[in-house]
Amino acid sequence: MKNFLMCASLLLLLGSCVTSKVHDDLQAKYDVASTENENLRKQNQKFEVELNELEAKMKKASKDLKTMENDTVNLGYELRRAKKNYADLNRQYEYLLNNNSTLLADNARQNKALLERLEDLQEELEIKEDSLNTEQAKLMAYQNELYAKNKRLVQLERVIDEQDSVMNYVQSKLSAALMGFEGKGLTIEKRNGKVYVSLENSLLFASGSWEVSAKGKIALDNLAQVLAENQDINVLVEGHTDSDAFRGSGQVKDNWDLSVMRATSVVKILSATKGVSAEHITAAGRSDLVPLATNDTKEGKAQNRRIEIILTPDLEGLFEMVE
C-alpha cells in the first residue's frame, strides 16, 4: 500500500509538470491573442480616422473638380466669343480692303494679335482639360481607397460584433445553468469581451483539499454543458488562494501547489464532459498573487480563495483578416 501511494504521488507530480508546461505555452498564445485583439481594436480606431481623412480629401477634390469644370466652361465661352470676334474682324477686314487700303496694316496687326490670343486660349484650355483629367483620376483613386477602407472597417466591426454576441449568449446560458448557485459563492460577469465565472473555494473544496465536493461537481457539470454547446471558446481555469501559508506534505507543499492542484481538478471534471473540447482548456495556478480583496479580514480571504473560469472568444477570424 505504501509503494502504491508513492507511485501515485510520483504520477501526480509528473502530471502537474506537464500541465504547467502546457499552461505556459497556452498562456503565451493567449497573451499574443489578447495583444492582437487589442491591436485590432486600435487598428479599427485608426481606420476610422483614416476614413474621415479620406472623406475630407474627397470633398476637397470634388470642390477642386467643380472649380475646374467652371473654369473650363468659362474658357470655352471665351474661346467661342474670340472666334466670333475673329469672324467679325475678318469681315471688316475684307470690307476695308475693298474700300480703304490705308487701314490694311492696322487690321493685319489686330488679326495677328487675335490669332495669338486664340492660340493661347486653346493651349490654356488644353492644360485645364489635362488638369481636370488628373483631378478626376485622383478623385477616383480616393473613392476606391475609401471604399476599400470602409469595407475593411465593416468586416472588422462585424467580426467583433459576432464575437461579442457569442459571449453575451454564453453569459446568458451560464446564468441560466448556474442560477441556483449565484449569490452562494458563484458570480458571473462579462469584462473586455470575456466572461468570468468566479467560484469561491467554499463551494468547491474543503479546507486544504483539492478534491471537488459533490455540490461543486454539480455546478461544474452545469457549466460544462454550456461549454459543450460552444466548443470554439477558449477556457482558462485559474486557482487562487489567500495569503495564509499552506504547509502541506508530499508533493503539495505551498499555495502555488495547492492553487495548481485545485485548478487541475476543475479542468479534469470539465474535460470529462462529453462534447467539451479538452484542447481548449488550460489550468493555471496563481497562488495568492491576484487577490480580489484585502487579506486582512476573514471575509476578504474568503473572496480571494477561489477558482476563476475565464471564457475567451475564438480569435481565429480576426487573425485571418490580419493575414
The answer to whether 293 and 200 are in contact (CB under 8 A) is no
At residue 207, the 3 state secondary structure works out as coil
What is the chain's alpha carbon radius of gyration, rounded to the nearest angstrom? 39
Count of CA atoms in the C-beta half-sphere (13 A) of 206: 4
Mean pLDDT value of segment 19-30: 81
248-285: pLDDT as tens digits: 777 888 999 999 999 999 999 999 999 898 889 999 99
Question: Which pLDDT value is given to residue 272?
Answer: 92
The answer to whether 235 and 281 are in contact (CB under 8 A) is yes
Quick one: cell of 65?
Answer: 473638380
**Above 80 in pLDDT, residue 237?**
yes
Q: Cell numbers 473650363 label which residue?
A: 72
**Above 80 in pLDDT, residue 105?**
no
The answer to whether 209 and 305 are in contact (CB under 8 A) is no
Query: If you average pLDDT over every residue of the chain, what do you get?
Result: 85
Which is more confident, 165 or 214?
214
**Above 80 in pLDDT, residue 148?**
no
Question: Which pLDDT value is given to residue 14?
Answer: 47
Count of CA atoms in the C-beta half-sphere (13 A) of 102: 1
Question: Which pLDDT value is given to residue 211?
Answer: 94
Cα–Cα distances (Å) from 316 to 38, 71, 148, 312, 313, in that order, read: 14, 54, 22, 12, 9
Residue 217 carries which side chain, given as an amino acid letter?
Answer: K
The H-or-E segment that residue 306 falls in is strand 306-312
The answer to whether 305 and 240 are in contact (CB under 8 A) is yes
Quick one: cell of 286?
Answer: 496563481
In CATH, what class is 10-37+166-322? alpha beta
Q: Domain map of the chain by residue range?
A: 10-37+166-322, 48-163
CA angle centred on 246, ends 241 and 251, rounded to 5°: 105
**Above 80 in pLDDT, residue 13?**
no
Question: Which pLDDT value is given to residue 90?
Answer: 86
Q: How confident is the model at residue 300 (pLDDT cuts 50, 70, 90)?
A: very high
Which is more confident, 196 or 61?
196
Considering the domain 48-163, what is its CATH architecture? Orthogonal Bundle (1.10)
